[in-house]
Structures are given as C-alpha cells and as structure tokens.
Structure 1
Amino acid sequence: MARIAVGGLMHESNTFATSRTDLTAFESGGLEIGDGIFQRWGEAHHEVGGFFESAAKNGFEIVPTLMGWATPSGPLTSATYRELTDRLLQALQEAGPVDAVLLALHGAMVADGEDDADGSLLAKVRSLIGPSRPLIVTLDFHANVSPLMVSESSALIAYQTYPHVDQRARGKRAGDLAWQAATGLIRPTQAMSKPPILIHLLAQETGREPMKGLIAGLEGLERSQGFLDASILAGFPYADVAATGPTCIAVTDNNLALASEMAEHLSASLWNYRHQLTATPPDAAEAVARGLATSQTPVILVDLGDNIGGGSAADSTVLIHELLKQGATRSLVVLFDPDAVLACQHAGVGGSVALSAGGKIDRNAPPLRVTGFVEVLHDGHYVEKLPRHGGIRNNDQGATAVVRLEGENRLVLTSLRHPPFSLGQLTSLGLTPESARFIVVKAAVAYKAAYAPIAGTIIEVDTPGLTASNPARYTYQRIRRPILPLDPEPIVEAVV
C-alpha cells in the first residue's frame, strides 16, 4: 500500500496592507496536526477533504502532517513564516518513508523578506524528500505562480471555479495523480506560461465570459492523450511581487515538450481576450441610487474595495454612509468592530447603544455614529454544509452582535474578520436575508455561491480600499513590466 504524506499552508497575502499576519491568525483560522487534519477538513468541501476521498477510493495510506490556514490579510511576519515552515518540514520528516507528498497551498502567500513564500516552501520540501519523489500541490485559482513553484513540484493542480466550489473535486484529482505517480503508473511533467496582463477581479469570475469559455476548454484538453491536467489561474492582483498575474499550466505524462506547447497555447488564448478581461462598476452614490430604483430585491451591493477574501479591513463604512444618506431602509451591513461588539455585550439584548462603528482601519469614510437596540448576541460559530467558496465547514466570525437602527436598517458587528462566503453568517443570527432591501457584501465574486440564489439584483460597486477592483489604482514596484492595464500594450509575438 502506498503511503502519501498530506499537509499544507494556505494564506492569500495582500502586500498593500500595512498589517502583518502572525501565528495567532493561523491558530484562529486553523492549525492542525495528525488526526486533527481529518477532523477539521475530512468532510469539508476543500481540497484536503478531496485528498481523503481519493485515499478511500484508491486505497493509499494518508500520513497527516500539518495543515495551516488563515484569513487573507497582510504578509506573514518573517518569524511566523519560519515557524510554520519549520513545523511542516519537521512533520514531513517525522512521517517516515513515504511514496509521495500532497500539499495544499494557496499560491499567493508572501512573508516579510520572502516574496515567493510558496515557492521557497516547495524548494525546502523538495530538498527534504529528494528529486524523484512525486510532490503534487493544489493551488487556489488566485495563485501567483512562480517558476520556482513549477520547478520544485511534480504537478500543480488549481481550482477551476471562482467562486471556488470545486475545491474538493480538485483535491481528489490531485490525490488520484499522487497515487498514480507513487505507484509508477505516471510521471507528471509540467510547464507554465504567463501572459503580460492583470485581470480585473470581476472578469476573473468563471461564470462570466470570456473566462467561462476559457475554463470550459480545459475539459477537452485533459481528456487528450498524454495530458494529465491543465489549469488557467487568474492570479491575485493585490500582491506586488514578480509572479503576480495569470498563469497557464499544463501537466503531461512525461512529455515536457507537449506540456510547454499547450501552456503557451492557453496563455495566447488568454491574451487574445485581454480587452474583455476588465470591468467598469459604478461608484457608491450611483450604485445606491440604482438599488433604490429597482423593485427586484434584495439588492446585493458588492463592496469591492473592502473584499475580505482579498485581505481588506472588513470595516469600511463607505456604503452604509451612502445608504443612510439616500434614505435606504431594511439594509443589512456587516462590519468588523470588536469594540462595538463589546459595547453591545455590556448593553445586553434589548439594550440601547450609541456606537461609533467601523472606519477604524479603513479610513476611506469615517466611523458610523448611530444609536440603536441590540437584537442579538451570538458566539459567531456556525456550520456550512454545502460547497462554498473556501470550502470551510466549521466557521467562526467571533463574538457577534446585531443592532437595529432606524428604518429597520441592521448592523451585524463581528469581532473577527469574516468573509461573506456563507448565508450562515446571517441565518445563524436569526436573520432572514431574503427580506432585506439591501445587503452589503464585502467581497468581489466569492460571495455568489451563497448569495446569488437569493439575490433580486446584484450591483458591483467601485469602492476605495485595500482591494479596489481596478489594478490601475495601485502603485506597483516589483511586478513584471510592461503589463496591461498599467502600461501601453506590449507587442507579444510568443507568450512565454
């Protein structure tokens, strides 16, 4: 029976954030060893759950090592990166002889002093396990893939959906390839190509053309003789590193020339759609006015500049100020504000509070000064059983309070930054999101798996913040140049 080590470290690092991610963020998000990995991820709609599913199907033994995950935020401190890397390497060493290694990485992790944190980690793992042992790695659709990540792994298997609802399936695919490689049935060989473009976050959605058609084309490729897998990764634009941007990867059975040819073909196809891989959403004032003019409710206002899944502050008040300014009623807005939660706890359910909520980290609008009544106090834990972006089953938004304002507007105040990937964030509090007129989601696309089924109208809003949707808003210093849309269009004869 083949023995395959399983582990991973996952973090999406926004290098434009001044905050830093430390060990406590991983301890809060998820940091498990041994059997704890199965207990947290075994039944989840996550790639690690797919690893376990593949093991059950193929009959290989999983040797669990260490799995760490933290909410997207600023880069890791150098000490945190070193500590987590050392722990994973030690766990792999203690696993004893294994026939292959399966790792779940995000692919856009950055640490102080280490722009290519995932690549550096893979190089250390490769040094530990030797040059010939299969090392199969899953990546997020938003990974910024470096040459080092490709050279130090046997195969990179990325999600093919955004919102990410295929994580478990892609994990299972990676597990199947690891088992086949471990038993000598295949020899994964891969190549990559990167077109010189930054894709607008809204255009990365895989249910929206042209990305929809590009991803659909991968299915036929993977069924071709000699191919094992193929990926188009949109990249994470909120990281100022050399590898930032989309990547096309082709994995074959011991045929590097074929892998290189197809990776370049996919990259050229992506480049051909460069003028369609953008978007021009309205600003806050126009978006709220449009929402007030429609009868198709609830209106989902997508706060692009405060996209928590991209590492934002989670406390921007830009949209709630605009909603109140234009007289909106039955609005539902979530803000990260531990101090406001504490004030609500002191007041108790039914108590009145005068709050200065949000706007403490994101300074694009002032804190919201309001009075209201505490309707709900909750510990913030809830379970999501369906496939959702991120694949997390057991969720925690920290101690949470619901405050009712005038006009039946409601604030949900959380003590942990928590992205809107599940309606359970609201329904666990006794709220009925379908009855709201407006719901602000601090996201870009990932919320859709949960919110699109209940939405009457969706309006994406070009708000300011750490995750503003247009890359031209940022000052990049370390990415490849020239690159669209930051520079005049480069002449591309052969995309490599």
Structure 2
Amino acid sequence: MRIAIGGFQHETNTFSRTPTTWTDFATADTWPGLLEGDALLPEMSAAPGSAPSNIPMAGFIAAARQTPHTLVPTVWCAAGPSGRVTRDAFERIAAMLVDGIAHARPDAVYLDLHGAMAAEHIDDADGEILQRVRAMIGEDVPIVASLDLHANVSQKMIGHADVLVAYRTYPHVDMAATGARAFNWIERRLAGAPRAHVAWLRAPYLIPMCWQCTDDAPARDLYALLDHVTAAGADSASFTMGFPAADVEKCGPAVWAYGASAQSARDAAQSLLDAVNAAESQFNGEIFSAQDAVTRAITIARHNDGPVVIADAQDNPGAGGSADTTSLLKALIAARANNAVLGLLVDPQAAQLVHAAGTGARLNLSLGGKSGIAGDSPLEAEFLVERLHGGDVAATGSVFSGYRLTLGPSALLAVGGVRVVVVSKPVQLLDLELLRFIGIEPSEQAIIAVKSTVHFRADFAPIASDILICAAPGAFPLDPRQLAWTRLPDWMRKMPAAR
C-alpha cells in the first residue's frame, strides 16, 4: 500500500507579538528546516542499528520500514513556539502538503501535527489542514495523525481524522513512540479494520503548564488511566492537557476514545473526563519570585549535594517566550550567588560583540532585555568572556535524542560567581549537552537557572538536589488568569498556578 506522509507543526502562543513566518519553518534551529519530497526520508531515517530521532515522523518511518508498505513523502516542517503563523506561511505550506498528497494517490495518509497551531486567519489551523486533506482524498482513505500532549483539540480535528494519537509524556520523551503508534493504526485500517467510533469531551478548566509534568501527580495518574480504559474495552484513548496560551475557542484539555461501538467510546471518554475533573484542584504548587527563588536556592545549595535548578518558566522559548529576559540573572548577581549558571539567553547582537572581542576579553554589554517584556530590561554590566562556540550541538538527552541543534554564535560570559550562556537562536535548555558544549559540567554547579517550564526535568531532575519554579517577567504567564482572553468560552475556568 502507498502511505503519503507529511507534517506541519507549530505551537502557537497567540499572546506573543512575534509572528511565525515562512523563514521560521524553512530554517533549521531546534528542528530540521523544511523538508520536501525526497529530502524527507533520509533526514528522518535512523542509521542502521540506531534508534530513530525523537520526532513523531521519525518513529513512524522506522515502524513502517518493517513492513512492505511504500512511503510517499510530501513535506515536513516545524517552527519554534511563537506568535500566530502568517497567512503566507500557512497557505504556502498547506498547499505543498495537500498537493503532495494529491500527487501521491495514497491508500492512507499520516500527518505529523502539533494540534495547537493558529494562523493569522484561522484559529483551528490543524483542523483546517485535516479538513483540506480529507476533502481532497475522500472519505474512504484513512487519515491518522499524531498530536502533541499540548494540543488544543477540536471537534473539527476529530471529525476529519480516522484516528488521532497524542503523546503521553511531558517532558515529551515518547514523540517517536507516538509516531510508531500512529503507524500501527494505519496498518490496522489498511488490513481492513473498520473506522472506529469516537467520543470527544472537553474539560472545563485550563491547566497551568508548570504543573503538567507527567512524572508527578496528578498528570502521572491520569495518563496511567489510558491503559486501564483501553483494557476495559476501548480501542484507544488520549488525553491532551492543552496549550494554555492560545486565545482560541478550542483551548483547553480534552479526552477522546475510540471503540468498536459508540457506547464503548462514550463510556471510555466519560470515565477519563470524570478523572480529569476530579483532579482539578491538584494542578497547583509553589511558585517563587526571582529574588525568593535565588535566596531559597542559595540556602539549599549550602546543605545539599547536587545543583538546585531554578526554572525561569515564564521566559520559556518552548512556549513562545523570548528567552532574553534578565530578571532572574540580575537576582543571581545581586545575591552574589557563586557557582551559578543561567541559560540559554538569546542575544545575537551581544554574541557577535563578544566573538569579535575574543576569549579572555572584558567588555561592557547591554545584555538581553530587548524584547520589551513588561517589568524587564537589559543587564548593564562588565562581562568576562570565558568561552566561545559556533553553536552547532549534537543533543544527547531523552527529549532531543538524535537532534542536531543550531544555536548560532554562542558564548559563556561571567559576572563574579555567576555565568550566563548566550546564544543567537532561541532553544529551550532541556538537554545537559546544552551546557557541556560550552564547557559547563551541570553536575558540578551549585545553581542552574533554566529557561524552560517542564521539559528540563527529563535531563536535569536526576542530578538536581531540588527544583524551584520561578515567575520572573516573561511572555508566557504561568497563571492563565493574567492573560487577556477574548475567545475562550465563558464556561472555561482559569486555574490559579500557585497555592
């Protein structure tokens, strides 16, 4: 059978003022640049004897290659989280995808989507993609799509796909595994299994992202229920906690289940929703200001082995943050913290200046704070240039497994006992190699400040003596009540982020 494959991924923070353009999808950074046609398969294929990169498309391809089916590549692209996708970028890429599938004349279609993409002119961009593909191939050709755990899922998405399967981990260590699960569904449909009945339900509250970690309760226990629901009679079940920085009607958590009958699907989805609703008050925890986080971290570091990790969670580039705010860095310097490092701070202008100055130079810089975030400003200080790097990094951690990251000109700068890793492109600090590449051994630090919300936990939790969540100024408020909503349904509650 011929399986057309393609992907178009974006997690859209509609409150961000930075539009996501064609260039953002075409250029490599955290993700590979746009791949079209014959370029897709070799880039996404694992070397013989190696595991696939932790990308859904790579996992799908690896699973499919164990069968006699033929993969017909169309286009795949992704861009880092930021503001709405421009009309130009969306329409160009959507047309490439739909035209490629049309020319493939497929027996089935696999789409690697995110589920929380919004364009300038379309709030439910993922639903629009599925609708356009379905209109072109007809009702009889199966469509299976994989989604991010932070997808904001709509009835339109559910209706136009045979099956949607979502990640089950945050940090997302199962992206490739989810692609493989998507292939298993396509294989079932190609073998003659009928299209399953589906039931989709929405939870009535937004979940702050800082409490969505699936290593901890309540998310850990809710995801454990998916297998129980399947064992009880459903064919498949998914739960997405949603991306709570998207001012669109479909924003929020959702559950859905597939079954041999409409009743089995409804029963499975309702049991999941009941559990999600019962857990509402548990999505909560302690959040610190920058000053309080630093004070607490210094105290803990005096008595514990292993670094104290402070998550600069509101400036997470993985959720649309600019990754250039300096409030936490200023707090570390003001408290005279020792053996402390912050990363990754984006400032391409500063990176160029220090590369021109060279290792060992001392120079005054206006570092970071250039994105206009309320309450933030550049750090004016004299910095020692400790190390320089071109910024090409091979990731080693479980989330970025198999990725080659492009950070652009990078530098390690020091002010007293505090060091900061400066890069030219926004990349979330969620891999230990993103400190090691510039000469920092993470396990030997007293304090590590990471511009990340949850993903860092996969690599950093095993070495951390403690983890603190910090709410310094940033483009991604942890508390959904702070956002200026205009399109969210009136019945959707906004959970406070801190107790």
Superposed displacement of residue 252, structure 1: 2.3
The residue type paired with residue 257 of structure 1 is Q
Residue of structure 2 in register with 1:267 after alignment: 273
Residue 404 (structure 2) pairs with residue 401 (structure 1) = no
Q: Give the unaligned 5+ runs of structure 2.
A: 46-51
Residue of structure 2 in register with 1:343 after alignment: 353
Matches within 5 A, 1:210-229: 210-225=218-233, 227-229=234-236
The residue type paired with residue 270 of structure 1 is V
Answer yes or no: is the 8 Å Cα contact 1:137–1:156 preserved in 2: yes
For the residue of structure 1 that corresponds to 2:184, the secondary structure is helix
Residue of structure 1 in register with 2:284 after alignment: 278
Superposed displacement of residue 383, structure 1: 1.4
Residue of structure 2 in register with 1:204 after alignment: 212
Answer yes or no: is the 8 Å Cα contact 1:316–1:364 preserved in 2: no
Answer yes or no: is the 8 Å Cα contact 2:333–2:415 preserved in 1: no
CA–CA distance in structure 2, aligned partners of residues 250 and 169 of structure 1: 19
Residue of structure 1 in register with 2:48 after alignment: none
Structure 1 residues 18, 372: closer, same or farther in 2, change over 3 A? same
The residue type paired with residue 345 of structure 1 is H
The residue type paired with residue 265 of structure 1 is S
The residue type paired with residue 235 of structure 1 is G
CA–CA distance in structure 1, aligned partners of residues 236 and 409 of structure 2: 43
Report Cα offsets for 1:354-396 as digits up to 9, x if no partner: 11111111342221112122222212111124421x6661111
**Paired-residue identity, %:** 33
Residue of structure 2 in register with 1:364 after alignment: 375
CA–CA distance in structure 1, aligned partners of residues 232 and 275 of structure 2: 18
Superposed displacement of residue 36, structure 1: 2.3
Residue of structure 2 in register with 1:493 after alignment: none
Structure 1 residues 221, 167: closer, same or farther in 2, change over 3 A? same
- Quick one: which of 245, 248, 255 aligns to 1:241? 248
CA–CA distance in structure 1, aligned partners of residues 282 and 414 of structure 2: 42
CA–CA distance in structure 2, aligned partners of residues 228 and 320 of structure 1: 49
Residue of structure 2 in register with 1:384 after alignment: 395
For the residue of structure 1 that corresponds to 2:91, the secondary structure is helix
Structure 1 residues 363, 171: closer, same or farther in 2, change over 3 A? same
The residue type paired with residue 393 of structure 2 is Y
The residue type paired with residue 348 of structure 1 is G
Matches within 5 A, 1:305-324: 305-324=314-333
Moved over 3 A (4+): none
Residue of structure 2 in register with 1:41 after alignment: 44
The residue type paired with residue 53 of structure 2 is A
Matches within 5 A, 1:115-264: 115-225=123-233, 227-253=234-260, 255-264=261-270
CA–CA distance in structure 1, aligned partners of residues 331 and 437 of structure 2: 27
CA–CA distance in structure 1, aligned partners of residues 166 and 402 of structure 2: 17
CA–CA distance in structure 2, aligned partners of residues 393 and 223 of structure 1: 35
CA–CA distance in structure 2, aligned partners of residues 137 and 148 of structure 1: 13
CA–CA distance in structure 1, aligned partners of residues 314 and 488 of structure 2: 21
CA–CA distance in structure 1, aligned partners of residues 239 and 284 of structure 2: 17
The residue type paired with residue 203 of structure 2 is P
Answer yes or no: is the 8 Å Cα contact 1:65–1:91 preserved in 2: yes
Answer yes or no: is the 8 Å Cα contact 1:65–1:88 preserved in 2: yes
The residue type paired with residue 209 of structure 1 is A
Residue of structure 2 in register with 1:18 after alignment: 17
The residue type paired with residue 31 of structure 1 is L
Answer yes or no: is the 8 Å Cα contact 2:479–2:495 preserved in 1: no
Residue of structure 2 in register with 1:490 after alignment: none
| Greater mean alpha carbon deviation, residues 98-107 or residues 268-277 | 268-277
The residue type paired with residue 458 of structure 1 is I
Superposed displacement of residue 486, structure 1: 6.4
Residue of structure 2 in register with 1:494 after alignment: none
Superposed displacement of residue 286, structure 1: 1.3
Residue of structure 1 in register with 2:4 after alignment: 5
Report Cα offsets for 1:209-236 as digits up to 9, x if no partner: 11111111111222344x3211111000
CA–CA distance in structure 1, aligned partners of residues 397 and 16 of structure 2: 31
Superposed displacement of residue 203, structure 1: 2.1
Give the RMSD, CA atoms, in angstroms.
1.6
Answer yes or no: is the 8 Å Cα contact 1:181–1:188 preserved in 2: no
Residue of structure 1 in register with 2:35 after alignment: 32
| Greater mean alpha carbon deviation, residues 433-442 or residues 306-315 | 433-442
